[in-house]
Amino acid sequence: MLRPAMPGPRRGRPRARHDRALPADAVQPAVAPLLAVHRAAAPGADQRGLLRGYEVAERLHQGQLRKSGAPYITHPLAVTMILAGLGMDTTTLVAALLHDTVEDTPYTLGELRADFGEEVAVLVDGVTKLDGERWGERAEAETFRKIVLAAAADLRVLVIKLADRLHNLRTLGFQPEHKRARYAKASQELLVPFAERLGIHMLKREMDDLAFAARDPAAHLSAAAAVRTALRDAEPAFGPALARLRIALAEQRITGRVSIRPRHLYAVHQEREGDLDGLRPCDAARLLILVDGDERDCYIALGAVHAALHPIPGRVKDFIALPKFNLYQSLHTRVISPDGDLLDVIIRSRAMHPVAEYGIVAHIREAGTAAAGAVAGRRDLVWLSRLLAWQSDAPSAAFLDSLRADLAPGDVAVFTPSGEVVALPGGATALDLAYALGPETGDLCIGALVNGRLAALSTELRSGNVVEILTEPGGGPSEDWLGFAVTAPARVRIRRSLDRCRAEEAAAAGRRELLRALAARRVDLLAAEAHGDSLRIARALGHEEVDGMYAALATGSLALDDLLARFTGA
């Protein structure tokens, strides 16, 4: 636990300034690199707010130290540098400098709002963890739920959280070994998938590799050595293929850049399942073709690639016509090199490249500071809409497990008979699709037609499948559905429906028991319900509705004799 810093007297709010240039003597050496990076990305930005944010953060964190022994201010400064390197707007950078002040110092959210405005306060509040003493075991789950809800209004909350986690992973070596592994595991299960969902692959790759190093240091060292050895021969190994591709592209009058793109260590380790013996350059890198033209030129380039190098049937993935859930667009194909190696080739336009690397950050940068919040709150990210749809129904105990399932890697795009495209995680079944189409459709489904053929609800779906969900009025979920439901929306809704059915059955059983007991004493339960006596007794016992009281009787948490005494006045 950090000990709260005890700042000196609060400074009054500085008066607004209209000049944007900062005199050299006004800039502290520690913050000068941050201002330089931000100035390069946003030459016209007013940096006075950024400097004031640093001064307040440094004052509030004074006396606090990191596990490394470094002053605590080095952490928010490093997080802000990561975001400045991504080209984030000034408001986000100010919020990043202040992101731990409300959590770890006496500075309140109200004070922050008064000093820096509502927009900064919303971002800081979004990334502030809930009090563990107050929330207990629910704190972690409810903190993530809070982040999700804040991100629904402004995705910059998640971007700040990712930069915060990246720097903590960079400095994880100062933590005890048992904490390193646990922290890295949580990062790969929850934060890395969020980076992928936002399309910020620049952060995802580094977070993946740092978490990999913390969870399995030996495997990480082995992968690093194998990849380093393989890439040493990359130029000669890829040379013949590169030469053919450049000639083929030139023949089609397609201009652009063809380059070797190394893969990150964890991706190589995963694909080879840890067996890195004989790792070749084609296993450690892919070819990237950046086309100067538009989408049409990307498809022409794909034809040129297949003309120059023999394609592998069924290995073309078109993420231009059908973008990924994180707005990623590219063409992927696998071909055979002149030397007989399998090569992965990625094709995208230069306009697609920033989104492919930086995801939502590219959209925020493009919109500019004034519109950053609006862009960051965009709802065309299907995964976020899906997450918001089920999160409120998940209790704290199940929320994190459901979130991990919803963020699991892999994506499948299926079509409804009307042509609607529905994105689902890998391994999703027809039942998952039914719930993705709506909770009512899910509850009433009885089967599916997959590509025109009758299929069970447990059928695993593949990209490109055309699926029609069959429903029947009066149907409902069954316990065995939980055995093959993969997505969080489906599992949460099924559990909720089953719990509701059990509660209704318990209430009916309890009411029957009470009805018989009261009839033996010549007391009319129907009359008591009609006059409101049953509801009054239920609320006196702490139940909002009479069904809760009846269910408590059926489950044994309420004694029949006690309840009879209240109804008979005995």
How many angstroms separate the Cα of 323 from the Cα of each of 48, 56, 285, 305, 375?
Answer: 40, 42, 23, 21, 18
Beta-carbon neighbour count of residue 31 at 10 Å? Answer: 22
Distance of CA 384 to the CA centre of its chain: 8
Give the whole-angstrom CA distance, residue 167 versus residue 286. 28
Phi and psi, residue 429, nearest 5°: -110, 175
Considering just the CA atoms, what is the radius of gyration of the chain in Å?
Answer: 29
Give the whole-angstrom CA distance, residue 159 versus residue 150. 12
Residue 530 half-sphere exposure, CB side, CA atoms within 13 Å?
4
Per the CB < 8 A criterion, the answer to whether 163 and 203 are in contact is yes
Residues with a known catalytic role: 103-104
Phi and psi, residue 71, nearest 5°: -55, 140
SS3 146: helix
Give the whole-angstrom CA distance, residue 292 versus residue 351. 8
Beta-carbon neighbour count of residue 297 at 10 Å? Answer: 19
Handedness of CA 557, 560, 562, 566 (dihedral sign): positive
Distance of CA 212 to the CA centre of its chain: 19
The pair of three-digit structure tokens given for residue 516, joined into one six-digit string: 């018989």
User: Residue 261 forms beta bridges with which residues?
Assistant: 286
Give the whole-angstrom CA distance, residue 240 versus residue 49. 53
Tell me the residue length of the chain: 570
How many angstroms separate the Cα of 391 from the Cα of each of 48, 342, 383?
Answer: 39, 42, 12
